[in-house]
Amino acid sequence: MKPRERRCSTPWNTFSIFSFDEAITRKLAEISADLKPAGFLPGFFESPGAPGNLEVLRGSCLDLLPTLATASFDGLITSPPYVNRYDYTRTYALELALLRVDEAQIRALRQAMVSCTVENREKAGLEAIFGPEIYGRATAAFAHQVELQSILAYLEWQKSAKALNNAGIPRMVRNYFFEMALVIFECARLLKPGAPLAMVNDNVRYGGAMIPVDLILSDFAEQAGFEVEVIWVLPTGKGNSSQQMGAHGREALRKCIYIWRRRGA
C-alpha cells in the first residue's frame, strides 16, 4: 500500500533573512524601544546620535579586555556565562559544526571561556594577561569575600564526603568567581566615570548551598570602583536540578539584572 502524502496547508515562509549588521542593528533598536520609555537604564539612550560602527572582536573576554584602552567606553551590557555547569560548546554544537569548528577547536574554546562547567581546568598565565595591579586587586577581593570563601570550604567538605554528584564542582565555582573578579575589575578600568554596566546573571545551588552570585559579584564591583545602583529580581525564580530538589527541596533561586555605575575619578 502506497503511503499517503501529507502536505502542509499553510505555505512555507522563511520571511526575510537579514545580514548580520542589519539583524544586530534591528535588535538593538528593539531593545532601545523597550527600555527607553520606562527610563530603566539612564545614560544608555540619552543621545539619539547616528548609528556608529560595529566591530566584533573574536576571542575570550579574558584575553581581549586587557587589550582595550582605559576609560574608553560609555556603557557596557553583558550576559556572562552562569556558574551552572552549562556547557555552551555543547549547546551550540550544530552552529559550531556549520562554522567548521572541529573537535579540537571546540575543546580549546571550552577551556578559553569563563569557567562554567566541570570540564574547565585551571587557567594558567592570568597574571601576565591582566597585569599585576588588576590581578592583585581582583585576587584580594576574591580572597576576602567571606561568604564566598565559606561556600568554597563547604563545597570542598562535600567533595571529601563524596556528597557531590561531580567532584569538579568546587573547582568550577572557585575558578568562575576568580575569573569574574578579574573581568569586573577590568570592566571598571575600561568604563568612563559615570558610565553604567548592566549584567544578567542567575544564582545557583550546589550541595544544598544557595550561592548568591548577585551579591558576591556586586561586592567585587564595589571594590573595583562601581556603585551598585539596583539589582532587579525577575518575578519568576529559577528552578533546580531534579537531584537538588529531591535532596534539598524545591526553592526558587533569584534571576537578576544588575545595574552598576562607574564611580568618578
| Cα separation, 256 vs 17, whole angstroms | 32
| Cα separation, 134 vs 147, whole angstroms | 22
More confident residue, 110 or 241: 110
> Does the structure show a pLDDT above 70 at 42?
no
Q: What is the pLDDT of residue 33?
A: 78
> Does the structure show a pLDDT above 70 at 247?
no
Measured between alpha carbons, how far is residue 118 from residues 34, 104, 110, 115, 224 in Å?
37, 18, 11, 8, 28
Measured between alpha carbons, how far is residue 61 from residues 112, 114, 115, 146 in Å?
9, 8, 12, 26
- Domains of the chain, start order: 59-262 (3.40.50)
How far the first Cα of the chain sits from its last, in Å, is: 81
Tell me the mean pLDDT in the region 11-17. 69
Q: What is the pLDDT of residue 1?
A: 58
Q: What is the pLDDT of residue 248?
A: 54
Q: Does the reported pTM lie above 0.85?
A: no
| Cα separation, 155 vs 153, whole angstroms | 5
> Does the structure show a pLDDT above 90 at 100?
no
User: Which of 81-90, 152-161, 238-247 has the least mean pLDDT?
Assistant: 238-247
> Does the structure show a pLDDT above 60 at 242?
no
